[in-house]
Amino acid sequence: LNAPALFDLSGRVALVTGAGSGIGQRIAIGLAQCGADVACLDRREDDGLAETAGHIDAVGRKALTITADVTDKGSLADAVAKTEADLGPLGIAVNAAGIANANPAEEMEEEQYQTLMDINLKGVFLSCQAEARAMLQNGKGSIINIASMSGVIVNRGLKQLHYNASKAGVIHMSKSMAMEWVDRQIRVNSISPGYTATPMNTRPEMVHQTREFESQTPMQRMATVDEMVGPAIFLASDASSYCTGVDLLVDGGFCCW
Ligand code: NAD
């Protein structure tokens, strides 16, 4: 066994949603650093996607930027087709696109609930479906969905029932898809980050909350986006060839308390 080679992604093609910012951006770059060519998908063609692609170019891998909304299944089918046309057969997918917001349960309007569910839960389903259709043809694939520890515990003080429910849904949907495709060489796993320093939760108005997040976490700090890369490479690569239907908590110990 050549253990380091287990993590080598040379010759692999990956698609990452939410690749213009935060966790998705850093994972897209990390996959490229391990040898993959990467299609980077986000909602808007802004600086974020160009920045991700620039980092991928800099490590000598091919980057493709794609503007699409994960709630639109036609755009996702087009994104997978373009990825395969430009980069080759799809073998790795990381679905990181997501949003977060809050409102007390008794005040939350149906529209706020539905918009978040459409992106965070249905968007993951539609992404996985489009990706798996290609991977099933290709005979192999690894899908990683970015869930959250909020799908396992209820964050103290955060009134975000829709977010928590969407992430619990992502974890269980990932296990369900893992079992549907287990005999066809498609692995599906999820990563559940704890509090991570990204634009989602480092806005200036959240400084006070950030300190609380840190003190509630056994490791007494938030994760950096870099700390989500190793887990993603593990699940994307042959290093995890016997893992499917796993939810990998990367939470600084949060869910132990
Ligand atoms: P982020 O806001 O930095 O990145 C999210 C990206 O998703 C953005 O680039 C955004 O444009 C994109 N996106 C949103 N809606 C989209 C849509 N409809 N179609 C296409 N792209 C869309 O946030 P992040 O913290 O990096 O979050 C990434 C994932 O990690 C999310 O699913 C989030 O729920 C999850 N997560 C984050 C944390 C955290 O503490 N930051 C913790 C646990 C889980």
Q: 210-251: per-residue pLDDT in tens?
A: 999 999 999 999 999 999 999 999 999 999 999 999 999 999
What's the pTM value of the predicted model, to 2 decimals?
A: 0.98
**H or E element at residue 145:** strand 141-146
Task: State the distance from the centre of ligand 1 to the C-alpha of 48, rounded, in angstroms.
Answer: 12
13, 5 in Cβ contact below 8 A?
Answer: no
Task: State the distance from the centre of ligand 1 to the C-alpha of 183, rounded, in angstroms.
Answer: 31
**Closest protein CA for atom 13 of ligand 1:** 97
Residue extents of the structural domains in the chain: 7-250
**Closest protein CA for atom 19 of ligand 1:** 69
Is residue 163 among the annotated active site residues?
Answer: yes
| Whether the predicted pLDDT of 200 surpasses 90 | no
pLDDT for the residue numbered 204: 77
**Cα 193 to Cα 87, 124, 131, 139, distances in angstroms:** 29, 16, 22, 29
DSSP-based three-state secondary structure for 109: coil
**Ligand 1 within 6 A of CB of 37:** no
d(Cα 32, Cα 58) in Å, to the nearest integer? 10
Asked casually if ipTM beats, i.e. exceeds, 0.95, the reply is yes
Asked if the 7-250 domain carries CATH number 3.40.50.1820, the reply is no
pLDDT for the residue numbered 201: 81
**Closest protein CA for atom 23 of ligand 1:** 200
pLDDT, the chain, mean: 97
Ligand 1 atom nearest to 97, measured from its CA = 7
Query: What beta strand segments (E) does 7-87 contain?
Result: 13-17, 37-42, 63-67
Quick one: what percent of the chain has pLDDT higher than 90?
94
pLDDT for the residue numbered 207: 81
Task: State the distance from the centre of ligand 1 to the C-alpha of 86, rounded, in angstroms.
Answer: 25
Q: 45-79: per-residue pLDDT in tens?
A: 888 999 999 999 999 999 999 999 999 999 999 99
Q: 150-194: per-residue pLDDT in tens?
A: 999 999 999 999 999 999 999 999 999 999 999 999 999 999 999
The answer for residues whose C-beta is within 8 angstroms of residue 214's C-beta and 6 or more apart is: 195, 220, 221, 222
133-162: string of b/e by CB count within 10 Å (b at 16+)? ebbeebeebbbbbbbbbbbbbebeeebbeb
Task: State the distance from the centre of ligand 1 to the C-alpha of 21, rounded, in angstroms.
Answer: 7
Strands 247-250, 92-95: parallel, antiparallel or unpaired by DSSP?
unpaired
